[in-house]
Amino acid sequence: MDLVARARDGDGAAWRELVREYAPLVWAICRQFRLETSDMEDVGQTVWLSLVEWLPRIREPAALPGWLATTTRRECLRVVEAARKRGTRELPDDQPQDGADPAEQRVLAAELDAALRDAFAQLGPHCQQLLVLLMQTPRLSYSEISARLDMPVGGIGPTRARCLDRLRRCPALAAWIDPEGAGN
Q: What is the pLDDT of residue 111?
A: 76
- pLDDT tens for 107-119 read 777 777 777 888 8
What is the C-alpha to C-alpha distance for residues 143 and 148, in angstroms, rounded to an integer?
9
Inter-residue contact 30 to 76 (CB < 8 Å): yes
Mean pLDDT of the 148-162 span: 93
Find the radius of gyration of the CA atoms of the chain.
21
Q: What is the pLDDT of residue 110?
A: 73
Q: What is the pLDDT of residue 66?
A: 84
Task: Determine if the peptide bond prior to 65 is cis (ω within 30°).
Answer: no
Helical spans, DSSP H, in 87-138: 102-122, 125-134
What is the C-alpha to C-alpha distance for residues 81 and 89, in angstroms, rounded to an integer?
9
What is the C-alpha to C-alpha distance for residues 2 and 15, in angstroms, rounded to an integer?
11
DSSP H or E stretch at residue 10? none
On whether the pTM is more than 0.75, the answer is no
**5: pLDDT strictly greater than 70:** yes
